[in-house]
Chains A and B, each alone.
Chain A
């Protein structure tokens, strides 16, 4: 028996090592369905988990790496022909959507643990988190490649071009409480300490071309803030250590889950709802079209051709075409000045809304449906996940998911949880296809971890687990019920 467990663990680790380097990870949607994994409370603090006590292996309990790339795929960019490869720029542009994402996320828990006292479950966690979102419109590529003649009927507008990213560490304290046999609520306040940030506060560009005269009108507004804990022009260790705790913020996770009966239930959560106030080495870069002469009209830049008289004034001398061109370039760029200040600013963290419903086929198998919306800079990246959860042989949890993320449809996820006594290992991905075709996959993520996990006593009936099935006889004694058990109970 013991040998079997060892073989199982070895195979699982091999799998992790081989697959892990092919996949990269984000906050996995599969995690939401893992009711035997205490880390599912990070997706919903009111997640009904079977946990008495857990201690995360430091630096290895919850590692989460993810890339979401909705548009830049190999098969859209490269075409293999008999004579070689062709970069199919035109084809790539046709496949771009109005909004496209390139997101990167990395979380690692440094330290974490949790324990239950009757109906209250408390957990503590310290993590470093990196979240970056690059939202770009199709116009970003389409305009320079296809040209402004493709935007005669409707101007080219960059309304949703933004780069947002935050690196911070997070100290959280989670509380979960059973109100009654059906309802659980959870809350996790979090103290945030920012390390680096880039925030696109305002980003707008409108490029209009007159169909007859080709006059070009540009309106633009840009405001980008950045912050670092060190001065990039003069980095020093003293600076870094003194600034580690200066960019403070606060966030909160809220959640609730409700079981209608033994078969159906629903849950809702909002996580990472908060803000960080940035004060160290801040830079605010702002740009707006300004009136610098004849090319300014109606609040924007309007270029309708060179006035010959003005061109003569720009000529440095007759033979110096390069100098004249340079003068012209400087003249035009003067309409788009970039101003820099160093004011502190505040950013919101990237909140996520999660809403799900489940159906229990039996005590070991269930089906679920999850909606998740990532809120970034007044934009929501929606996703829908359909999941199967299964528990086998008291030690193996299997999850299979299908997700539609943004407008990408090829996301087949799997999750494995191995419970070898108190050791619990898990590996999840929202898109296993990415392991085999990484350059053509929109979602590439992996979440994994290892922890010591002690579940609730299976014979001990408490309000969070068994009230919907039967009432507990408090007078019934069993010396085993007073002991912690090593064998886990199924859901």
Chain B
């Protein structure tokens, strides 16, 4: 081909047509040789690299949520956005009216006799008293004036030697009335000397008497003397058995009745994992007494406050008296006593619970108060409420926990050169935060790595002056960068435990801060991933 071309070139000057032929020939040859059919065979690698940044999380955490998370308690609005939480501690029901209204079972005996032949003494009458007994009546010296029976029975059994053919023995009481307000009356005949009387729904009216809580039964014997009895005297023996007598209500008079009160509520703000030290300023307390006894009552405090390991922080001075008037009718009276603000409340991991010790006195004025009524609905309760406003001198709250950690079969892909997480925080809470996560090897007992270079994640927001101490400028922290690359990832595979530690603290434990419901922590988390496929074989 080359020799042919050379010969043609020599002839070019004289024969231009040959020049055209040569040109075409060269073009065809070159075109044929330029064919390549394997342009895309055997591709085994791709060279590509880049970096993508993506925002992951943009969220707010309000201080209210943090309080709930840490303490397990829900914070409330204490007015103008200032947060508070309330500790409400109920006493048990102090008085159980059912016990008070029950009368002890008892058998009563009455016996009398009269001449059998003296017709002038017929009808013969006899009075005997029946006195009721119970704790209320005996120990508490309750003098019944009136009582409505809920349930109960009297079993009457009469034995007599009257041998006249027809006689009646009637027992009646001026103190006992049936539901229709008819006086009690029961008649015995020779064939009905034993009878049971159900006094449910009956009313006892106890009249003035030398003996309190006593009713009178009058026995009247009637018969016609048909023959002279060989018995010179007739006797009447009456046994009355009182069973299950219980009142629906009792009205009467009573001297003051004292009930000791003691209850203790554990407080579990701090646990084994959570510790801290802060003082909440001047918590507000209130004592609520609920009284549905139709009698005045008084609560006298002995010890009311917070219990520590070996300490006690009172919120109510010992000997404080709180008076609650009688409830009208069947209603209930509640008295909430806001005694104002008490001493600063120091919270630490030593805080164990709330203690209330004192006594409740029913009818403190005693007999001079007049008649009181106790019924089935009567109850007396004492509730303590402590409102703790988040105005404090704050030192710190710390949390530490250990969790299992295992990357297992997860591998760091060779395509990703590096992944960097960016954590940006803007803090509108007047507390600074330190967080660290330690990756721990339990075999070598050593810390392999920590998540953050600097555990100080955010500073406290700037607080304004008294009296509101509102946040005037949030603190925007420098972002934290957490970078993972293959080397670091491989190291973490040796970790078995993850120890989480965080701490919130104020800049100055003696400085007052307030937590408001609009304070929040803005969290912005993004990730930047750098990739490179050069090491990847297809």
On whether the beta carbons of B31 and A18 are closer than 8 Å, the reply is yes
CB distance from B338 to the nearest CB of A (A): 37
B58 contacts the other chain (Cβ, under 8 Å)?
A: yes
A437 contacts the other chain (Cβ, under 8 Å)?
A: yes
| Neighbouring A residues of B16 by C-beta, 8 Å | 392-393
**Alpha-carbon distance between A15 and B41 when the two chains are bound, in angstroms:** 30
Q: How many A-B residue pairs have CB under 8 A?
A: 126
Report B13-37 CB contacts with A as 1/0, cut-off 8 Å.
Answer: 0001100110010011011101000
| Total residues of chain B contacting the partner, CB 8 A | 40
**Alpha-carbon distance between A78 and B527 when the two chains are bound, in angstroms:** 32
**Alpha-carbon distance between A393 and B21 when the two chains are bound, in angstroms:** 14
B44 contacts the other chain (Cβ, under 8 Å)?
A: yes
Report B46-90 CB contacts with A as 1/0, cut-off 8 Å.
Answer: 111111111111110000000000000000000000000000000
On whether the beta carbons of A216 and B41 are closer than 8 Å, the reply is no
Q: Given A14, A87, A213, which contacts B46 in the complex, CB threshold below 8 Å? A: A87
**Alpha-carbon distance between A437 and B30 when the two chains are bound, in angstroms:** 11
Report A8-25 CB contacts with B as 1/0, cut-off 8 Å.
Answer: 100110110011001000
Query: Contacts A4-B17, A15-B27, A436-B34 known; A85 to B55 CB distance under 8 Å?
Result: no
Query: Contacts A146-B50, A147-B53, A149-B52 known; A307 to B58 CB distance under 8 Å?
Result: yes
On whether the beta carbons of A216 and B34 are closer than 8 Å, the reply is no
Q: Given A22, A145, A212, A214, which contacts B31 in the complex, CB threshold below 8 Å? A: A22
Q: Given B34, B47, B51, which contacts A86 in the complex, CB threshold below 8 Å? A: B47
On whether the beta carbons of B44 and A86 are closer than 8 Å, the reply is yes
Closest to A83 in B: B44
On whether the beta carbons of A87 and B28 are closer than 8 Å, the reply is no
Query: Contacts A4-B17, A89-B46, A90-B47 known; A305 to B56 CB distance under 8 Å?
Result: yes
Q: Given B21, B43, B57, B524, which contacts A84 in the complex, CB threshold below 8 Å? A: B43
| Neighbouring B residues of A148 by C-beta, 8 Å | 52-53
On whether the beta carbons of A305 and B24 are closer than 8 Å, the reply is no
On whether the beta carbons of A213 and B55 are closer than 8 Å, the reply is yes
On whether the beta carbons of B54 and A214 are closer than 8 Å, the reply is yes
On whether the beta carbons of B524 and A213 are closer than 8 Å, the reply is yes
B39 contacts the other chain (Cβ, under 8 Å)?
A: yes
**Alpha-carbon distance between A393 and B18 when the two chains are bound, in angstroms:** 13
| Neighbouring B residues of A91 by C-beta, 8 Å | 47
Give the contacts of B178-202 with A (CB-CB under 8 A).
none
Query: Contacts A89-B46, A392-B16 known; A306 to B28 CB distance under 8 Å?
Result: no
A117 contacts the other chain (Cβ, under 8 Å)?
A: no
B490 contacts the other chain (Cβ, under 8 Å)?
A: no
Report A293-318 CB contacts with B as 1/0, cut-off 8 Å.
Answer: 00000000001111111000000000
Query: Contacts A18-B31, A305-B524, A437-B34 known; A147 to B51 CB distance under 8 Å?
Result: yes
**Given contact pairs A22-B34, A85-B41, A212-B479, a sample of 9 additional A-B residue pairs in the complex whose CB atoms are under 8 Å apart:** A4-B17, A18-B28, A84-B44, A84-B45, A86-B46, A212-B424, A216-B55, A306-B57, A396-B20
Which residues of B are interface residues toward A (Cβ below 8 A)?
Answer: 16-17, 20-21, 24, 27-28, 30-32, 34, 39-59, 422, 424, 479, 524-528
23 CB < 8 A contacts A-B: A15-B27, A15-B28, A18-B28, A19-B27, A78-B39, A78-B40, A79-B47, A85-B44, A85-B45, A87-B46, A89-B47, A91-B47, A149-B53, A212-B422, A214-B54, A214-B526, A215-B55, A216-B55, A303-B55, A305-B57, A305-B526, A393-B16, A436-B31
Nearest 10 A/B pairs, CB to CB: A305-B58, A214-B53, A89-B48, A149-B51, A147-B50, A305-B55, A436-B34, A147-B52, A214-B526, A84-B44
